[in-house]
Chain A
Amino acid sequence: MGKLISEKTKQVFLGPLSKNNPIGVQVLGICSALAVTANLKPALVMGISVTVIVAFSNVIISLLRNTIPNRIRIIVQLVVVAALVTVVSEVLKAYAYDVSVKLSVYIGLIITNCILMGRLEAFAMANKPWESFVDGLGNGLGYAVILVIVGFFREIFGAGSLLGFRIIPQSFYDAGYSNNGLMMMPPMALIIIAVIIWIHRSLNKELQE
């Protein structure tokens, strides 16, 4: 390992951002992606939290990978993740209370977010800590990107604002424009993700089924 960022590490990092995106291609971690994206801010916080947790749990499991007995590895992984999630949840409660109220149970549900178990099983159990860290970072960011896109569209069309600031000017409303309330409803999140997948797969023909 001469250079800190070798060719393989770069691949590990960039893959999940597009060609191997956790949501669009691997179909992992959909639950929270849909539920927290009605506004941009919780989506952003969720994306960051998941990135931090995936990266660090990947490192911890990777360090322990030779000592974990195979039969109980799922429980060990769950406990490591649960401990990290508890830390993140307490930090959010202390520094961003309103967001943590909005995210409610979905912060706890990061524990069962399939991205975590998927990456721990598929990558951290077989790779060195540094690569696992990069892999976690890449997958977390790939997840965050989709969340931010969905949150962006839902907030701008559903509430006419971004991060709470009004974007669509008052004169539009005076002229008869109105917010699309349906965007705030859960089903629209599914449709937006479907459209993202549609565009993504039209551009990358090899991903089509």
Chain B
Amino acid sequence: MENVASIFVKSIFVDNMIFAYFLGMCSYLAVSKNVKTSIGLGAAVIFVLVITLPLNYLLETYVLREGALAWLGPNFKTLDLSYLSFILFIAVIAAMTQLVEMAVEKFTPSLYASLGIFLPLIAVNCSIMGGSLFMQQRAFNSIVEATSFAAGSGVGWLLAIVGLAAIREKMEYSQVPLPLRGLGITFITVALMALAFLSFSGLKI
């Protein structure tokens, strides 16, 4: 149980999706112009991560990994399907975002109004695919650990995008040199935030 909590905290601060791995950078830069929409996108990322990552974990453990198909019979013991993981992971992610979008639209129209436009975008958000690939690489012991990793990464992503959006809202009023205005200064801001987050890397959890 301790392990689960430490994975959660670690994936928020030390292994932050944005500041340590730059995952989901495209939508991070594009949708961080104001705090309200960035909260919406962040929430959608958490949502989709927590749904797809455990699914992909099951897929990895019972289908893809070397020897994972042993439950089918002794003949399958040496089968290694891991080269199929890219296609299967992305299929699960694309299908799940589509399903989640439809479910949210049907059952909670108010949530759909705030999250809806972001959900299709999320299928191609690197942080979702990245979460699944990191899960494969780190070989978590149980589905609970994988889920806590998903939740932590999502919360870290939300934290990062809301922070950047708040800074960018303030920056509207400052005199940035013309060639740096917009994209350039945003990059520098993210770099400074990432430097601040580097200080967490010494944390022993």
A residues at B contact (CB < 8 Å): 24, 27-32, 34-35, 74-75, 78-79, 82-83, 85-86, 89-90, 104-105, 108-109, 111-114, 117, 185-191, 193-194, 197-202, 208-209
Q: Chain B residues with Cβ under 8 A from A24's Cβ?
A: 183
Q: Contact at B94–A187, with CB atoms within 8 Å?
A: no
Q: Contact at B130–A109, with CB atoms within 8 Å?
A: yes
Q: Contact at A35–B22, with CB atoms within 8 Å?
A: yes
* Nearest 3 A/B pairs, CB to CB: A190-B191, A209-B182, A194-B187
Q: Contact at A190–B26, with CB atoms within 8 Å?
A: no
Q: Chain A residues with Cβ under 8 A from B133's Cβ?
A: 105, 108-109
Q: Contact at A190–B90, with CB atoms within 8 Å?
A: no
- Count B-side interface residues using an 8 Å CB cutoff: 49
Q: Chain B residues with Cβ under 8 A from A104's Cβ?
A: 137
Query: Given known contacts A108-B133, A186-B22, is B184 in contact with A194 (CB within 8 Å)?
Result: yes
Kindly report which residue of chain B lies nearest to residue A93, judged by CB atoms.
B83
Q: Chain A residues with Cβ under 8 A from B95's Cβ?
A: 75
Select which of B124, B126, B180 is within 8 A of A194 by beta carbon: B180
Q: In whole angstroms, what is the CA distance A78 to B97 when docked?
A: 13
Q: Contact at A31–B187, with CB atoms within 8 Å?
A: no
Question: How does the 8 Å CB contact mask read for B74-101 relative to A, with 1 for contact and 0 for none?
Answer: 0000000001111101110011001000
Q: In whole angstroms, what is the CA distance A34 to B19 when docked?
A: 10
Kindly report which residue of chain A lies nearest to residue B134, judged by CB atoms.
A105
Is B195 at the interface (CB under 8 A from chain A)? Answer: yes
Q: Chain B residues with Cβ under 8 A from A193's Cβ?
A: 187
Q: In whole angstroms, what is the CA distance A83 to B86 when docked?
A: 8
Select which of B85, B87, B98, B183 is within 8 A of A197 by beta carbon: B183
Select which of B94, B180, B192 is within 8 A of A78 by beta carbon: B94
Q: In whole angstroms, what is the CA distance A28 to B182 when docked?
A: 15
Q: Contact at B191–A27, with CB atoms within 8 Å?
A: no
Q: Contact at A187–B90, with CB atoms within 8 Å?
A: no
Q: Chain B residues with Cβ under 8 A from A188's Cβ?
A: 191
Q: Contact at B188–A194, with CB atoms within 8 Å?
A: yes
Kindly report which residue of chain B lies nearest to residue A104, judged by CB atoms.
B137
Q: Chain A residues with Cβ under 8 A from B191's Cβ?
A: 187-188, 190-191, 194
Q: In whole angstroms, what is the CA distance A117 to B95 when docked?
A: 17
Nearest Cβ on chain B to A174's Cβ, whole angstroms: 30
**Besides A109-B130, A190-B188, 5 other CB < 8 A contacts?**
A82-B90, A83-B87, A89-B83, A185-B198, A186-B22
Q: In whole angstroms, what is the CA distance A97 to B190 when docked?
A: 32
Q: Chain B residues with Cβ under 8 A from A34's Cβ?
A: 22, 25
Nearest Cβ on chain A to B15's Cβ, whole angstroms: 12
Query: Given known contacts A74-B120, A86-B83, A194-B187, is B19 in contact with A109 (CB within 8 Å)?
Result: no
Q: Contact at A208–B181, with CB atoms within 8 Å?
A: yes
Q: Chain A residues with Cβ under 8 A from B198's Cβ?
A: 185-187
Query: Given known contacts A75-B95, A114-B26, A208-B178, is B194 in contact with A186 (CB within 8 Å)?
Result: yes
Query: Given known contacts A27-B183, A75-B95, A197-B184, is B22 in contact with A111 (CB within 8 Å)?
Result: no
Is B202 at the interface (CB under 8 A from chain A)? Answer: no
Q: In whole angstroms, what is the CA distance A31 to B194 when docked?
A: 14
Q: Contact at B126–A113, with CB atoms within 8 Å?
A: yes
Query: Given known contacts A105-B134, A197-B187, is B192 in contact with A208 (CB within 8 Å)?
Result: no
Is B45 at the interface (CB under 8 A from chain A)? Answer: no
Q: Chain B residues with Cβ under 8 A from A201's Cβ?
A: 178-180, 184
Select which of A85, A114, A202 is within 8 A of B86 by beta carbon: A85
Query: Which among A74, A185, A198 has the greatest number of chain B C-beta atoms within 10 A?
Result: A198
Q: Contact at A31–B25, with CB atoms within 8 Å?
A: yes
